[in-house]
Amino acid sequence: MAVTEAPTTELAPEPERGRLLDWLKTTDHKKIGILYLINSFAFFAVGGVLALLMRTELARPGTQIFAPHAYNQLFTLHGTLMIFLVIFPLLAGFGNYFVPLQIGALDMAFPRINALSFWLLPVGGLTIVSGFLARGGAAAAGWTGYPPLSEQLGTGQDLWIAGLIIVGTASILGGINFIVTILRMRAPGMTMMRMPVFTWSILATSLLVILAAPVLTAGLIMVFADRQIGTVFFDPGRGGVVLLWQHVFWFFGHPEVYMLILGAWGIVTEIVSVFSGKPIFSYRGVILSFLLITALSFSVWAHHMFATGAVELPFFSVTTELISIPTGVLFFIWLGTMWKGKLRFEPPMLFALGFIAMFLIGGINGVWAASPAMDFAIHDTYWVVAHLHYVLFGGTIFGVMAGMYYWFPKMTGRMLSRKLGIWQFWLQLVGFNLTFFPMHMLGLRGMPRRIADYAPDRGWSFLNLMSSIGAFVIAIAMIVFFVNIFLTLRKPRSAPDDPWESNTLEWATSSPPPAHNFDALPPIRSDRPAYDLRMAAKEPQA
């Protein structure tokens, strides 16, 4: 019964500290996963500082620090970095580390392509950021880069296009790698319907990536050709169609939204189950919801274009609201999983609960925005900024933090401080709502997004000040997070293999796992192999 013993608590021997070169040339999916996380949090810090600069400018009416063109660069780079170089790569980083472990594989299907996918990210990101050094500054057409503005700006815009093409290529290669890994490298017994929900969420994300990301690449090439070789894709004066960009961009952009949240749903579903001490209320319901949302997400892009007057309003309104059905199913599954469970309010669970509450707000105001009548009133106001941050920060970043606290012991062999985690959670929750809830009201009062200044007599000043104070509270929460990581990494390895009494296969190996992932795989007879292992250990020896 060698493999069914209770998780060992003895300390794993400290391996030699990896030299820098090992990290630079590694093809180990676990090291690459950690590189993804480091890179993403580095860009998170950059994007966060940009956000603080914006909130500082907006704290009071009048132009204090940034002229409008400089401000445009701030919000363009903030949005671009947070979406393409922070949120998506954070989830991809977790995917890299945990998908092979969760399905009992040795590594990803194509380890060297995996390394390439990662290393293209900092290259693409720095290409975008290098725009600050160019004449005329960095890209300034917003993260959506609408022409004609994106065709008129300076070299920074070209660097933005080049960087995004690099990042897009990286994500397509990564997506192919995930799909082949999941379809072909599962351990014996790990059928599709026994795969952890997080692995399912990465599979759905990867499908979206390989089908949607190339469409953005095509659009970026069109803009680049218009700018550099004199084509007229988006020049209505010469027969082009300026709305073509919006169609192409949002055909990518709306599936992109689900690329940014599916992984967080996977993390939260798993954590809610573990910390309620119950199986997922409906495993099949989760999978079905993921797949329905994946399919539906390709039919909703024009809800970003209601105000153009050039799209079929009822069709795109109905398809958009249809998405709220599988999403609503997920909420009920999370509640059903917690119902009558033995809840443990450890930091991963706190962040997961924060996710559910904040994403509920973001989801419901998304349903409102799907109604054209409502959308005409709030289009391009701060209401939209509130909505997308409730989804991407209140949703995904809370989910990512839940994942960090949950998986940190597996990745490093060390438990993050519970006390600091609880501090971070409350600071983050309060700061987040202080920052973004007033934006709903600002939007309803007509404040447009993407402006550097506003008049003092519009009744926007107090809400903006609150929002700016909230942004700095979020910054404090993030400092607590980084301090927690820094302090924890200096401690000895003391985390047990399965500190949370979890369900999935990654907890059936040591913390951190050996280079080959598993010394011996336990038998896989359900979607909760680690749980089966614990139960078998409790039975009397036969």
Partner 1 sequence: MSAVTVRNERPSREMSGPVMGMVLFVASEAMFFAAFFGGYFTISGSAKVWPPPGIPDLEIGIPTLLTVILVTSSLVVQLSLRSIRRDDRRRAILFLGVTIALGIAFLLLQLYDYSQLGFGVKDGTFGTLFYVMTGIHMAHVFGGVVFLSLVFGQAMGGVLSSTNHDSLAAGAIYWDFVDVVWLLLFTTFYLLAPR
| Residue window 73-112: x/- pattern of binding to partner 1, with contact defined by CB under 8 A | -------------------------------xxx--xx--
Among 231, 299, 494, 526, binds partner 1 (CB under 8 A): 231
Q: CA-CA distance, 533 to 531, in Å (whole number)? A: 5
Q: Which of 13, 239 has the CB closer to partner 1?
A: 239
148 phi and psi angles, rounded to 5 deg: -80, -15
Q: Cα–Cα distances in Å, from 257 out to 62, 183, 261, 313, 463?
A: 34, 24, 7, 20, 27
> Smallest distance, Å, CB 207 to partner 1?
9
Q: Binding of partner 1 at residue 225 (CB under 8 A)?
A: yes
Query: How many C-beta neighbours within 10 Å does residue 448 have?
Result: 14
Query: How many C-beta neighbours within 10 Å does residue 237 have?
Result: 8
Chain positions 123 to 182 lying near partner 1, rule: CB under 8 A, are 172, 175-177, 179-180
Q: Which of 177, 424 has the CB closer to partner 1?
A: 177
Q: Which of 25, 238 has the CB closer to partner 1?
A: 238
Chain positions 493 to 532 lying near partner 1, rule: CB under 8 A, are 516-518, 520-523
Chain positions 184 to 203 lying near partner 1, rule: CB under 8 A, are 184-185, 187-189
Q: Which of 108, 338 has the CB closer to partner 1?
A: 108
Query: How many C-beta neighbours within 10 Å does residue 334 have?
Result: 26
Please work out the total of residues on this chain that contact partner 1, with binding judged by CB under 8 A: 53
Q: Binding of partner 1 at residue 227 (CB under 8 A)?
A: no
> Smallest distance, Å, CB 181 to partner 1?
9
Three-state SS annotation for 491-504: CCCCCCCCCCCCCC
Among 35, 99, 215, 280, binds partner 1 (CB under 8 A): 215
Among 13, 17, 112, 239, binds partner 1 (CB under 8 A): 239
> Smallest distance, Å, CB 106 to partner 1?
5
> Smallest distance, Å, CB 516 to partner 1?
7
> Smallest distance, Å, CB 503 to partner 1?
19
Q: Binding of partner 1 at residue 213 (CB under 8 A)?
A: yes
Choices 19-27, 220-228, 412-420, 498-506; region in contact with partner 1 by CB under 8 A: 220-228
Q: Which of 53, 203 has the CB closer to partner 1?
A: 203
Choices 127-135, 151-159, 210-218, 354-362; region in contact with partner 1 by CB under 8 A: 210-218
> Smallest distance, Å, CB 521 to partner 1?
5
138 phi and psi angles, rounded to 5 deg: -75, 175
Among 229, 340, 342, 457, binds partner 1 (CB under 8 A): 229
Partnered with residue 381 across adjacent β-strands are 448
Q: CA-CA distance, 452 to 144, in Å (whole number)? A: 18
Measured at the CA of 37, the angle between CA 249 and CA 337, to 5 degrees, comes to 85
Q: By the 8 A CB rule, do 530 and 508 touch? A: yes
> Smallest distance, Å, CB 121 to partner 1?
18
Residue appearing with tokens 């397509």 = 172
> Smallest distance, Å, CB 440 to partner 1?
34
Q: CA-CA distance, 492 to 217, in Å (whole number)? A: 46
Of 1, 6, 76, give the one whose Cα is nearest residue 508: 6
SS3 6: coil
Q: By the 8 A CB rule, do 261 and 396 touch? A: yes
Q: Which of 225, 313 has the CB closer to partner 1?
A: 225
Q: Which of 154, 189 has the CB closer to partner 1?
A: 189
Q: What distance, in Å, lies between the first and last C-alpha atoms of the chain? A: 10
The DSSP-derived string for 341-387 is ------HHHHHHHHHHHHHHHHHHHHHHHTSHHHHHHHTTBHHHHHH
Q: CA-CA distance, 490 to 510, in Å (whole number)? A: 20
Residues that bind partner 1 (CB under 8 A): 1-4, 104-106, 109-110, 172, 175-177, 179-180, 183-185, 187-189, 210-215, 217-219, 221-222, 225, 229-233, 238-241, 244, 247-248, 251, 516-518, 520-523
